[in-house]
Amino acid sequence: MIAPLPSSGWHPAPGRTIPVVVPASLRLRGLLGQAVTVSWSPKSSADTLDFTLDTSEWLHGTGDYLASVAASVTTASGQKTDMRVLWATLVNGMACLFLSGGIPGTVQTVLVSITTQQGRSLSQPVAIAILSTSPATPPATAPSLPDGTPVPPNALALSQSVILTTESGKPYLLA
């Protein structure tokens, strides 16, 4: 397996990083497990912040690493101020998202889909409350390529204005 390369210069905020945990095995005891809601700390509509899932406990002992991450806001309603995923990438072996916008006073759900190098996959819904302390704000825009492909902070850059891309046009990333 190819271990993740450390991303230099940019690191996910520890205060907005949550672990993906292995659910307790209650079946042997004859108990039914309850669904646990995973949630990030609240944000205001005007905030544009990184939010991260740490899968190290989920993958502990497997020798496996994350290979890809994708995310979408499943509660988006088509409004200009809906929360939006500006980019999703792997940073230091963790699934990191950049979120902006959101309708004040709501709880939004972000579906984070991850795949590992050995083929494991997980679709993890994560809740995030949008505070009602500030007015609704349209999402910010992220740096992007001319075709609109977002450029995360761990994209390989040849210079300030030249991003190394694959044949399909996606940026090469330091995972």
Q: How far apart are CA 129 and CA 39, in angstroms?
A: 8
- Interval 35-76: pLDDT, tens: 668 899 999 999 999 999 999 999 999 999 999 999 999 999
- Residues 6 or more apart in contact with residue 14 via CB below 8 angstroms: none
Residue 130 buriedness (CB in 10 A; 0-12 / 13-18 / 19+): buried
* pLDDT tens-digit readout, 139-158: 888 777 777 777 777 666 66
Whether pLDDT at 169 is above 80 = no
Q: Which of the residue ranges 109-113, 132-136, 160-164, 166-170 has the most confident prediction, judged by mean pLDDT? A: 109-113
Looking at per-residue confidence, does 103 or 21 come out higher?
103
Q: In 41-148, where do the E strands start and end?
A: 48-54, 66-73, 84-91, 94-100, 107-116, 121-129
Q: What share of the chain has pLDDT > 90, as a percent?
A: 51
Pairing of strands 107-116, 66-73: antiparallel
Q: Mean pLDDT score of the chain, rounded to an integer?
A: 83
Tokens of 147: 């075709």
- Fold category of 14-134 in CATH: Immunoglobulin-like (2.60.40)
Domain boundaries, the chain: 14-134
Say what the pTM is: 0.80
- CA-nearest of 12, 16, 5 to 126 is 16
pLDDT, position 155: 67
